[in-house]
Amino acid sequence: MNYRDILNESYAEAVAWRRHLHMHPELSFHEENTADFVAAKLEEWGLEVRKGVGGGGVTGLLKGLNPGKTVALRADMDALPIQDEKESEYASTVPGVMHACGHDAHTSALLMVAKILSAHRSQFKGNVKFIFQHAEETTPGGAKFMIEDGVLHDVDYIYGVHLWTPLQAGHVYSVAGPMMAAADEFVIQLQGKGGHGGLPHETIDTVMIGSQVVVNLQTIVSRTLNPLYPAVVSVGSFQAGNTFNIIAEKCTLKGTVRTFDEESRQTAKSKVEDLTRQTSEMHGAQSNIRYILGYPPVVNDHLETERFFAVAHSLYGTEHVHPMPLLMAGEDFAYYLEQVPGCFMIVGAGNGETRTSYPHHHPKFDLEERAMLQSAELLLHMAVNALSE
């Protein structure tokens, strides 16, 4: 069945859903109103609904006319602690909180799929489980808790989509194997001895020591890890002192490590800890390191990625379907893929206009809303194709 005409008929409603959610964003682990909004829609369409899954997630189970396999489709619901700075009639009404990554559109696109399939359940056998996940943006992430709560029980395949404004709307992407990086964090605290800026010999200068730590950490990628495997070590925050003539007694560094394989991930962790300790000891300072293993890499199943290319080529032709370059961004969809075969897909959501040219997590972020149609169409056909086997 070709669902494109039905999707087009649902587009205006999906835009209204997306703009409502955009105006009323909720942070990770606090998506109560968003969850209520989603659950009410699913109940209206006759799905079996569970709320509070893993703490804050929502699921809707749709049973086809005949028994068969179960396909899960996932969207994330949470927003970010960012002040919305764009001029728009649907800008966030919540101070300091906005949907700056597209999760409002992910949720709305998946609601489109749920509504359409619920009206055409006689067209497929088996079940579709709609997973509306909380807390994708904040480690340890909602996926982990939903899995622990049994969200993947009896699920045979899982698919998800991320709208991506750096890529032109109308194009879709994925790749077999690793696609998005493991996203780990570290917090380094250095304790030295403060003192007068004119008497450095009487101090243990944590600004100088912290600076050396930053430089030394860059040797992890350049001189320790296998150059054939991509990796990034970045220090994003350096906090020390508060005036020009006092040598800082304390220094705090915060950063992230991105890798695609477990050996590089563990090696990087060990080297961050060793280099920090050795550098601080060399200068007489004390160090404390908190290293947080975040989301694992997103690794797509090879057969399910083949399904993506077959489905996408049939829908859009070869000129609009592409292998996805590796992304250093992290995604807790990785946890689902560790449990069941599946594929995470990227849908272009930029259109070259100023309003969609801002990167994800930017205060003026916005996206091409028609990309929701392609996202919904891709998820819908992936599910139906898998259930037809």
Say yes or no: 340 and 364 in one domain: yes
The CATH number assigned to the domain holding 196 equals 3.30.70.360
pLDDT tier at 353, thresholds 50, 70, 90: confident
Say yes or no: 289 and 302 in one domain: no
The stretch 313-334 carries a mean pLDDT of 97
Q: pLDDT tens across 167-208, in order? A: 999 999 999 999 999 999 999 999 999 999 999 999 999 999
Provide the H-helix boundaries in the chain.
4-23, 32-44, 103-119, 142-148, 206-217, 219, 262-282, 302-316, 333-339, 371-387
Say yes or no: 244 and 315 in one domain: no
Say yes or no: 209 and 252 in one domain: yes
The CATH number assigned to the domain holding 9 equals 3.40.630.10
- Number of independent structural domains in the chain: 2
Measure Cα distances from 369 to 26, 76, 111, 356 in Å: 20, 17, 14, 10
Question: Last residue of a domain, which of 242, 270, 295?
Answer: 295
* Domain coverage including residue 276: 182-295
Q: Is 171 annotated as a binding residue?
A: no
Say yes or no: 160 and 303 in one domain: yes
- pLDDT at residue 291 tops 90: yes
What is the gyration radius of the CA atoms in the chain, in angstroms? 23
Catalytic option among 76, 78, 304, 377: 78
Give the full edge-to-edge strand order of the sheet including 125-133: 48-53, 57-63, 125-133, 66-76, 157-168, 342-350, 172-174, 321-323
Query: What are the structure tokens assigned to 56, written together?
Result: 């804050």
Q: Is 322 annotated as a binding residue?
A: no
pTM of the model: 0.95
Q: Is 362 annotated as a binding residue?
A: no
Say yes or no: 282 and 332 in one domain: no
Say yes or no: 87 and 157 in one domain: yes
Catalytic option among 31, 136, 156, 331: 136
Q: Are 72 and 143 in contact (CB under 8 A)?
A: no
Say yes or no: 201 and 332 in one domain: no
Q: pLDDT tens across 138-174, in order? A: 999 999 999 999 999 999 999 999 999 999 999 999 9
Question: Last residue of a domain, which of 241, 260, 295?
Answer: 295
Rounded-to-integer distance, Cα 180 and Cα 162, Å:
11
Predicted local confidence at residue 314, as pLDDT: 97
Q: pLDDT tens across 34-77, in order? A: 999 999 999 999 999 999 999 999 999 999 988 999 999 999 99
- Active site includes 78? yes
Say yes or no: 160 and 192 in one domain: no
Residues 6 or more apart in contact with residue 292 via CB below 8 angstroms: 139, 184, 185, 186, 187
- Active site includes 136? yes
Q: Is 137 annotated as a binding residue?
A: yes
Say yes or no: 258 and 142 in one domain: no
Residues 6 or more apart in contact with residue 11 via CB below 8 angstroms: 370, 372, 373
Say yes or no: 121 and 166 in one domain: yes
Q: Are 35 and 58 in contact (CB under 8 A)?
A: yes
Question: Last residue of a domain, which of 230, 262, 295?
Answer: 295
CA dihedral sign of residues 123, 124, 127, 129: negative
Q: Is 361 annotated as a binding residue?
A: yes
Say yes or no: 205 and 354 in one domain: no
- CB hemisphere CA count around 138 (13 angstroms): 14
